[in-house]
Amino acid sequence: MPGPLGSEGGAASVLALAIIGAVVALAAASIAVLGGLVASQVAANAADAAALAAADALSGVVPADPCGIARTAAERNGARLVRCELAGPAASVAVAVAAPFAEVTAESRAGPPGWEG
């Protein structure tokens, strides 16, 4: 005989679906955040590589155009060179990497120790 409010059959199924939905939503949000963190690290690594490559070209260690070799280094590390500035023997670069919801940028500078230019 059903209680005063009727049968409670199927209540656990509704609760299980709600819990599964919450877990799926949390997993999707976590994947997006982790994707952004990975893109940030990729951008930082690519910026460092590009700045070091440009500084090597400026110093004469590598016979190449500093900004051209910085672009190549950034692209080989999964980024796009946004800016390349040369000041004496130092190079400053900025790169961008596509992330799940936005574009992540990073900057780096390389040159001889103590150079303030």
32 within a domain of the structure (yes/no): yes
Question: How many domains, in total, are found in the chain?
Answer: 1
CA distances from 60 to 55, 56, 98 (A): 9, 6, 32
Query: Three-class SS of residue 79?
Result: coil
Phi, psi of 27 (to 5 degrees): -65, -40
Among the residue ranges 5-9, 23-27, 71-75, 76-80, the one predicted with the least confidence is 5-9
Domain extent at residue 97? 16-110
**Residue bearing the bigger pLDDT, 106 or 8:** 106
DSSP-derived letter for residue 69 is H
> Does the structure show a pLDDT above 60 at 4?
no
Segment 59-70 shows an average pLDDT of 92
Enter the pTM of the model. Answer: 0.76
**Residue bearing the bigger pLDDT, 109 or 102:** 109
Write out the E strands in the chain.
80-87, 90-98, 103-110
Q: pLDDT by residue (tens digit) across 12-53? A: 888 899 999 999 999 988 888 888 889 999 999 999 999 999
